[in-house]
Structure 1
Amino acid sequence: MVIGGGYAGLSCALALARGGASVIVADSEMAGFGGSSRNGGQANGGWNMIDLAAPDQGAMRARVESGLESQGHFEELLAREGLYDCYEPVGKFVAAYVPRHYDTLRRKAEWASANGYLDAEEVAPENVHEEVGTEFYHGGVRFSRGGLVQPARLHAGLLARVAAAGATVASPVRIDGFRRVPGGYSVETTAGDIRCNNLVVTTNGYTGSATPDLQRRVVPVASYIIATEPLADEVVDALIPRRRAVSDTARVLTYFRLSPDHRRMVFGGRASFASVSPEEGATGLHRMMTERFPHLRDVRVTHGWKGNVAFARDRLPHMGEADGLHWALCCNGSGVVMMTYLGAKIAQRILDRPNAPVCAFDGTGSANQAFPAIPLYNGRPWFLPVIGLSYRLRDFVDRLQSAR
C-alpha cells in the first residue's frame, strides 16, 4: 500500500504494478492535491547536490551522481510513458543574488565540468541579460540538462498510467494509523482497514500524525506562486530570452519561468514563512518580482496558489525502509525529478530486495541516523517565522554590502 498520490507515490505504484505487485494508493485529498500539481515546474537533478564544503566529499559525489541519475530516470520515464510533450528540455540558469554568490557558483560550475557531471558554464555579470532581462543579478551559471514541466499535466499522465497498470487509486481516503501484524501491516483508513505486506509513505510536505515518527523529521514549508496577465511578445522575449528554468541564490528563494504558452511570467518563492493565503502570498511575491523586474510593476497578477514542499534537518532527500515500512520524503523544494526517482527506487527495493542501498539517499539499515529527527519538534513548524526573519535580514545585509 502506498500513502500519498503525488509524484513519488505514483512512480512507486507504477513500477510495482508493472512488476506484478497488487497496489493500492491512498490519498487524504484528491490525488495530486499537494505539491505535485502546484509546484513551479522546474525539473533538474544533480546541481543542488554539489557542496564543495561538505566534510565527506565522497558522499557528496555519490549524491551528485544519484541526482544526475534521477534526471536520466525522469527523462526516460517521460519518453517511455508518452509524457514527453509536457516537458521542455531548456536547461537551467542559477542567478547570483550578490557578487560573492557568483564566486561560489563559478567554483561549482568549474568542479561539475572538470569532473564530467554537467556542462555548467559561468555567466559573467555583464552577460546576465543573455538569460534574464534585469540588472538585479551579479552573474550566474547555466547548464543545458533539465528544464520545465507542466506539473498538473505530468501528474495526470502518471495517474492514468498507474490506473492502466492495474493499481487502485483511492481518494479522498484518510489514513488514521497503522500497526504491525503477521506478514505486514494493518492500515486504518476512512474506507476501512487494509492489510498489506509493505507500507510506503510518500506524503512529503503533507506528512501528518498517522506517521508520527516520520512527521518529526519532516518540516512542511509553503511555496507560493503567481502568474501575470499575458505579456507583449517583446516583453516576454526580453524577460527570459532562452526560456530556461531560473532560480536565484537568495536565502529567501525565488524561482521563475515563462508559462508553457510563453505568454506569462510564473514567479514563485518563499513569500511567507508562516502559513498565509495564496492572496496574501501573492502580495509578497509581487514585491519580490518587481524588485527583480521593475518594469513589471504595473503588470496585473491573475493567478496565485501555494503548495507545500518538505525540508529535512540536513536539507537532503531521504528514502529508507524498516520492517516493511518504506518512505521517500524531503526533496527540499526540488522534488519534481527527485521524488519521481525515489518512488521508483522504493519499488526496486520492494521487488528486488537488495542488500545494499539502491542510491545515495537510501538510509535503509540506519534509518534513524540517516534521517535525523528535529529536537523540540512534533510536526508543527513553530520556528519557521524566526528562520524566515533571519533569512530576510541576512539577504538585506548582503545586498546592502554589495551596493557599497
Structure 2
Amino acid sequence: MTVHTSLTQNCKASSYWLDDLQMPPSLPSELQKSVDVVIIGSGYTGMHAAIETARGGRSTMVLDAQDPGWGCSTRNGGQISTSIKPSFEKLSKKYGPERARAIRQEGETALEWIEEFVTTEALDCDFRRNGRYHAAHTPEHYNEIARNAETLRKLEGIEAHAVPRSEQRSELGSDVYHGGVVFARHASINPAKYHRGLLSLAIAAGAHVVGNCAVTGIKNEGHRFVLATARGEVHARNVIVATNGYTTGLTPWLQRRIIPIGSYVIATEPLPKDLMADLLPTNRIASDTCKVVYYYRSSPDGTRILFGGRVSANETDTTVSGPKLFTDMCRIFPQLEPFKVTHSWMGRVAYTFDELAHTGVHGGVHYAMGYCGSGVSMASYLGKRLGQKVLGLSEGKTAFDGLNNPTRPFYKGNPWFLPPVVAYYRRRDRRQYERAAIAAE
C-alpha cells in the first residue's frame, strides 16, 4: 500500500491515546444470568451509570459488543466544554426562559462536576483547566462571538473574553483567523486514561463488565427484561442503553433519534519545543467557528499537535482522512508542513435533531445519548444521573428530563442527508475563509 507523504511509514490507524496505556484489568467472559441492572454500552455514560448502581447496592452487568471503551470514549479529542450548543435565546423561544436557563446551567454543572469527580476519585488522566480559544474564521464571526461572549458573561456568569486579531498571537500561532474568544474554564483530559479509570472504579464497586458480547434483543415482560446476547439469555430488573454514536437497530426508537457522525483525528510526530510554544503559547485547547468545525490541542506532554475535524462529505478510511486533515492543519499552521503524522483515527459521535443531549425512559428502558460532539463531561454527568434514577434517587433529576426527543419522517438511523449537508457547509466555510483572506490583504 502506498503511504501518503504526510504520513509516517508506520502511521497507526489506532487512537494516539492508546499508546502506552496500561493493560486493562482482567474481565470475566461468563455472563451473570440474572442481575438488577444491565447496561448496554461501556463508554463514559455506561461506566458512570455502572459506578452509581453498583455502589448503590444493585447487582450490575455492563455488556458491550466490543472491548470496553472501544468506541469514541477512547477516540475523542480530549476536550471538555460546557456541552450545550443551543443559545439561551434559542432555548427560551422553545421552552421559556426558566427551562432554558436550567438546560444551559446543566452544561456548567457537568463541567464543574467532572473536575470534582476526577479529583475526588484521584484519577490519573491529565485533567487540566487550561481553557479554550474559539477562533473566528471571518471578521463577521469574530464580531458575533465577541458579542456572545459579553452576553454569556453578563447573563450566565460564564468566564469568556474576546481577543482581537491584533492580539491573537498571544493565544494561537496562526494568522488565518480574525480573533477569537477565550473560555477560561474549559478543560482537557486524556480520554483513554479517564475511561480506564472509570472501568477500574466500576469493577471495584462490583460491576460485572463483559466485552465482545453483543446484545441482540430486548424484551420487556413487565416485571423484568429478558435480553438475548451472543453468549446466552440474561434477565434484569432494569436496562440502561448507553450506545450514543454506536446505537443500532437493537433500539429502533433511539436509532431514529440519533445521527451518527464520524469525527477524524490525527497526531503529529514530536515537535520542537519552541515550535509548540509558538503554536499554542497558552496551551489552551482550540476550536473554530466553521460550520464543519476543526478542533485541536497539544498532547498532554506538550510534544505533539492533535488535530481533528470532518474532512469529507462521506465517511472515509483513516488513510484518506489523515492526509486531508494534515492539509487543513497546515492551512492554519503552515509551520507544520515539514512534519508528518504518526496516528490517524476516527470515532463516531452522535448528534440529535435539536442539538441537545437527551435522557429519559422509553419502553421501560433508561437511556442517555446525543452529546453532539461535546460529550466528555455531559456523557459522564448524565451517566451518573441515569444510575441515580435507577436507584430511585431524586438527585437523578435533570433539566433534560421530559424534553421532546425529535426525529424526522422516514429517518431510521441512516443519515443519507449528511453527505450533501457536509459538502455544502465545507464549501461555504472555504468561501468565507477565502473572502476574509482577500479582504484582509
Q: TM-score range by the shorter chain?
A: over 0.9
Structure 2 partner of 1:30: 67
Give the conservation status (yes or no) of the 8 Å contact 1:49–1:60: no
Structure 2 partner of 1:88: 128
Q: Does 1:151 align with 2:191?
A: yes
Structure 2 partner of 1:377: 411
- C-alpha separation in 1, matches of 2:360 and 2:302: 39
Q: Does 1:401 align with 2:441?
A: no
Give the conservation status (yes or no) of the 8 Å contact 1:223–1:308: yes
Q: CA deviation at 1:53?
A: 4.2
* 1:208 equivalent among 245, 248, 251: 248
Q: Does 1:359 align with 2:398?
A: yes
Q: CA deviation at 1:74?
A: 0.8
Give the conservation status (yes or no) of the 8 Å contact 2:132–2:187: yes
Q: Which one-letter code corresponds to 2:39 in the other structure?
A: V
Give the conservation status (yes or no) of the 8 Å contact 1:50–1:61: no
- C-alpha separation in 1, matches of 2:130 and 2:338: 29
State the percentage of identical aligned residues. Answer: 37
- C-alpha separation in 2, matches of 1:302 and 1:42: 20
Q: CA deviation at 1:374?
A: 2.5
Cα distance, 1:273–1:13 mapped onto 2, change above 3 Å:
farther
Moved more, 237-246 or 48-57: 48-57
Alpha-carbon deviations, 1:203-256, whole Å to 9, x = none?
000000111111111111000000111111110001111111111110111000
Alpha-carbon deviations, 1:6-41, whole Å to 9, x = none?
001001110111111111110000011110000000
Q: Which one-letter code corresponds to 1:230 in the other structure?
A: P
- C-alpha separation in 1, matches of 2:196 and 2:343: 21
- C-alpha separation in 2, matches of 1:263 and 1:376: 47
Does the residue aligned with 1:223 lie in a helix, a strand or coil?
strand
Q: CA deviation at 1:375?
A: 2.4
Does the residue aligned with 1:197 lie in a helix, a strand or coil?
strand
- C-alpha separation in 2, matches of 1:202 and 1:373: 18
Give the conservation status (yes or no) of the 8 Å contact 2:43–2:69: yes
- C-alpha separation in 1, matches of 2:392 and 2:185: 30
- C-alpha separation in 2, matches of 1:116 and 1:374: 32
Structure 2 partner of 1:238: 278
Alpha-carbon deviations, 1:36-57, whole Å to 9, x = none?
0000000122564535444245
Structure 2 partner of 1:342: 382
Q: Does 1:263 align with 2:303?
A: yes
Q: CA deviation at 1:3?
A: 0.5
* 1:226 equivalent among 255, 266, 270: 266
Give the conservation status (yes or no) of the 8 Å contact 1:184–1:324: no
* 1:6 equivalent among 14, 30, 43: 43
Q: Tell me the C-alpha RMSD between the 2 structures.
A: 1.6
Give the conservation status (yes or no) of the 8 Å contact 1:49–1:63: no
Q: Which one-letter code corresponds to 1:24 in the other structure?
A: M
Q: What is the number of residues matched between the two proteins?
A: 398
- C-alpha separation in 1, matches of 2:334 and 2:89: 34
Q: CA deviation at 1:323?
A: 4.5
Give the conservation status (yes or no) of the 8 Å contact 1:94–1:141: yes
Moved more, 59-68 or 222-231: 59-68
Does the residue aligned with 1:169 lie in a helix, a strand or coil?
strand
Give the conservation status (yes or no) of the 8 Å contact 1:224–1:305: yes
Give the conservation status (yes or no) of the 8 Å contact 2:262–2:315: yes
Q: Does 1:113 align with 2:147?
A: no
- C-alpha separation in 1, matches of 2:83 and 2:46: 21
Cα distance, 1:69–1:84 mapped onto 2, change above 3 Å:
farther
Does the residue aligned with 1:310 lie in a helix, a strand or coil?
strand
* 1:163 equivalent among 189, 193, 203: 203
- C-alpha separation in 2, matches of 1:207 and 1:143: 32
Give the conservation status (yes or no) of the 8 Å contact 1:46–1:65: no
Structure 1 partner of 2:425: 391
Structure 2 partner of 1:61: 101
- C-alpha separation in 2, matches of 1:339 and 1:313: 18
* 2:360 equivalent among 320, 338, 341: 320
Alpha-carbon deviations, 1:323-378, whole Å to 9, x = none?
53111111010011110001011112111254x98222223xx6xxx111132221
Moved more, 254-263 or 15-24: 15-24
Alpha-carbon deviations, 1:38-84, whole Å to 9, x = none?
00000122564535444245133222101001112211110121115
Which blocks of at least 5 consecutive residues in structure 1 are unaligned? none
- C-alpha separation in 1, matches of 2:281 and 2:173: 8
* 1:181 equivalent among 218, 221, 237: 221
Give the conservation status (yes or no) of the 8 Å contact 2:388–2:396: no
The runs of at least 4 consecutive aligned structure 1 residues that moved more than 3 Å come to 46-54
Q: Does 1:311 align with 2:345?
A: no
